[in-house]
Copies of this chain bind each other. A is one copy, B any other.
Amino acid sequence: MKTIFSTKNTEELIPKIEKFIAEELYPLETSKTLSGNFSDVEPQLHELRKKVKEMGMWGLALPKEAHGYGLTLCEFGQISEALAKSPFGHFVFNSQAPDIGNMELMHKYANESLQEKYLEPLIKGEIRSCFSMTEPEFAGSNPTRMGTTAVKDGDNYVINGHKWFTSSADGATFAIVMAVTDPDASRHQRASQILVPLDSPGYEFVRNIPIMGHAGDSWASHAEVRYHDVVVPQSNLIGAEGAGFLLAQERLGPGRIHHCMRFIGIAERAFDLMVRYAISRELREGTTLAHMQSIQNFIADSRAEINAARLMVLDTADKIDKHGSAAVRNEISTIKFFTANMMLRVIDRSIQTHGALGMTNDIILSYWYAHERAARIYDGADEVHKAALARSIFKNYGFDVTKK
């Protein structure tokens, strides 16, 4: 949908991307790939990456100086929506989490040697990476409590810890690990981000965690890992020591735009499937699902909610472009819970419209129903964002709710 946020770039790129995705990726969404392992379909996706490069569309998310397109966040948001219409879209365009976040971070904060060794092949799509932050023992809503430690030993760090939901660790070349470097520092300055090559001795890949009945593999997986006295040089530090929390925050601003626009792309595809099925499924001679007012309500509510969410996310992206993330922290919280919930409602309505078919992997919906449920949990659960937003609103009224 064209909005006030459309630009020359988006108007030029998006139709091409949508065409490519519909023609090349939709056919790959089969009941086999949607209920199998990612590695089954991965070779085909690597072939398609070549096509993307040939079309000159590699690096959509990257700044010009990293040989990227130099799109604004608001523009890339709109691209991200288009990519999300297939679960393989971001991967084929090398814009997939967590690599995209690692690229942005390393582009800004990694030293030259790390950039040469790790960032460049990552940008080229030759290797994959992961981000190792969440720990099973500590609630995610409190990033200042963390069990993983990086202790200095000569020129090295010795890292010990237990992480899970280290997404895409399976097959990754390196992890960026969040670890406590100074337990005595003030709460937000205890942790640092350190690059750890995953062939390091002491790194233990415990398992891909079974999620909703399937452990997945390769890029499409969420690993539990352990670090047992893993030794890396201190030069593997990303950014300043103690800046781990700060960098995680910085990652979150644009990261949330990417995610939210991905949610919107998924919702649009689920919407499109819902409408197509409604008009084609006959209940009895001459009467289709589209004639049912319940289905009409699903469609109307979904249309309204998707449109509203998109405008809110793009408005936020536009403000980040203009004023930086810090200025719109409330909006960033807001779009996260609003958009995630919207997406899940639209998926759910589309499944309900499809009836038994909606449960199957003959179409994409159940894949998203299962895997995107996490959208209300990761990067801050709904409840955490809502409380944070309310606290911040109270503060604007001069009331500090953290003090009794």
Contact = CB atoms under 8 A, between A and B. Distances in A.
A72 interface: no
Interface in A75-121: none
A142 B4 CA distance: 34
Interface string A125-145: 000000000101001111001
A172 B383 CA distance: 46
Contacts of A134: 356
A315 B304 contact: no
A22 interface: no
Contacts of A326: none
A240 interface: no
Contacts of A303: 330, 334, 389, 393
Contact of A366 (B141, B212, B286, B390): B212
B355 A209 contact: no
Contacts of A318: 4
A305 B342 CA distance: 11
B283 A35 contact: no
B210 A35 contact: yes
A355 B213 contact: no
Contact of A300 (B352, B358, B386): B386
Nearest to A358: B377
A391 B304 CA distance: 14
A263 interface: no
Indicate how many identical chains form the complex. 4
Interface string A205-217: 0000111111100
Binding site of A, secondary structure by majority: helix, strand, loop or mixed? helix
A369 B281 CA distance: 26
Given A145-B284, A283-B142, A338-B304, A373 B383 contact: no
A40 interface: no
Contact of A308 (B286, B333, B338): B338
A31 interface: yes
Contacts of A185: none
A370 B212 contact: yes
B139 A282 contact: yes
A215 B214 CA distance: 11
B355 A377 contact: yes
Interface string A349-385: 0011001111111100011011001101110011101
Given A213-B213, A290-B399, A389 B355 contact: no
A278 interface: yes
B352 A294 contact: no
A55 interface: no
Contact of A275 (B139, B164, B279, B394): B394
A297 B360 contact: no
A125 to B, nearest CB: 26
Given A145-B284, A397-B275, A386 B352 contact: no
8 residue pairs, one from A and one from B, having the closest CB atoms: A296-B390, A35-B210, A300-B386, A293-B293, A210-B361, A308-B308, A311-B311, A279-B399
15 contacts: A3-B315, A142-B283, A145-B284, A211-B366, A212-B361, A275-B397, A287-B404, A291-B404, A292-B383, A294-B297, A294-B386, A301-B386, A308-B308, A352-B376, A370-B370
Given A145-B284, A308-B312, 19 more contacts: A4-B5, A34-B213, A139-B282, A141-B283, A212-B361, A212-B367, A287-B404, A290-B399, A293-B387, A295-B390, A296-B401, A300-B387, A304-B389, A307-B331, A308-B308, A356-B374, A359-B373, A359-B374, A366-B373
